[in-house]
Amino acid sequence: MELNGLLGDPILKGILDKDPPGGLLMFSMYSLPQDESMANDILRLAINNNVEIHFANENFIIQKEEDIKKLRKIRSFASDISSPIDQLHNLINST
């Protein structure tokens, strides 16, 4: 079963809540909702129901609360796509 997009999130939450599988394979951590609160709800629901989430693209597994912090750090790092040259220019000109 493939769940992707806006309609997949409520379905995924329902599966994790009502009939949790032993594990879940997702293509990427970016398959989670972009809204951090919604993504955290899904991740915590999985953890609370002992469902491991495997993210194939990143070779990353969510098993415990600490993993959510790691995932958040990776996602925030990857979301900054600004140019390092522009960052340096802004830093130099701001002083």
Residue spans of the domains in the chain: they are 8-80
User: CB-hemisphere CA count at 13 Å for 35?
Assistant: 7
H helix and E strand count, the chain? 4, 3
Q: How far apart, in whole angstroms, are the C-alpha atoms of residue 28 and residue 79?
A: 14
User: pTM of the full predicted structure?
Assistant: 0.72
Checking if the pLDDT of 39 tops 60, the result is: yes
Read off the pLDDT of residues 46-95 as tens digits, 9 standing for 90 and up. Answer: 999 999 999 999 999 999 999 999 998 888 776 666 676 777 777 788 75
Per DSSP, 59 falls in state: T
Backbone angles phi, psi at 64, to 5 degrees: -145, 170
Kindly report the number of other CB atoms within 10 A of residue 32's CB atom: 21
Cβ neighbours of residue 91 under 8 Å, at least 6 residues apart? none
